[in-house]
Amino acid sequence: MTDSFQKHKKILLYVLLVNILLVASHEGEFWPFSIFPMFSQAGKEWSRGVVEQVSDSTRADLWQTKPIEEIEGRILPLKNYGIHEIDFANFITKTKVWNEERLNGMRSTFQIDQYPGEMWLATRVRGYMNEEDSVVIEAIPMFLFTADTTIKNPNMFSE
């Protein structure tokens, strides 16, 4: 009986050691919780990307940062246009240098030239906690795409 007990004790210790090494190397991220930002990244600032349908590109507030509630009715369902939402979010939030190649890459992803008369505003959505511990979600317009033109937000990008 003691041999069996010693053997099981050894196996249990090895499993525990392997588990500790695997969990320690994940920097606080453990699978069931890492896919839920509310557990792994609570309180941290986050960014995503959305595309707004625009009908008037001459609006005075077109390039202004606004609360998400102001654009909710204009957000395009990217899936309907064959654009993967997570890929778009990563592209618009992680790109630091917006050169012609990257803008053309976004244009080709949208295939906006197949939708004449449409105007789409690529927008970065940012969420964070303010000093009063309330959540702020704001929409920051970045690029206006039409079938033949790309316009950068003049408040963010100087030529």
CB 141 within 8 A of CB 123: yes
List, as one string, the DSSP characters of 94-140. Answer: H-----HHHHHHHHHHHTGGGSTT--EEEEEEEEEE-TTS-EEEEEE
pLDDT-derived band at 73, boundaries 50, 70, 90: confident
pLDDT digits 0-9 by tens, 23-59: 766 665 555 555 555 555 666 788 899 999 998 888 8
CB 151 within 8 A of CB 144: yes
pLDDT-derived band at 155, boundaries 50, 70, 90: confident
Tokens of 121: 């505003």
pLDDT-derived band at 21, boundaries 50, 70, 90: confident
pLDDT digits 0-9 by tens, 109-119: 888 888 888 89
Rounded average pLDDT over 64-74? 90
Tell me what the pLDDT averaged over the chain comes to: 83
Tokens of 37: 């930002």
pLDDT digits 0-9 by tens, 3-16: 888 888 999 999 98
pLDDT digits 0-9 by tens, 77-106: 988 888 888 888 888 888 888 899 998 888
Share of the chain above pLDDT 70, in %: 85
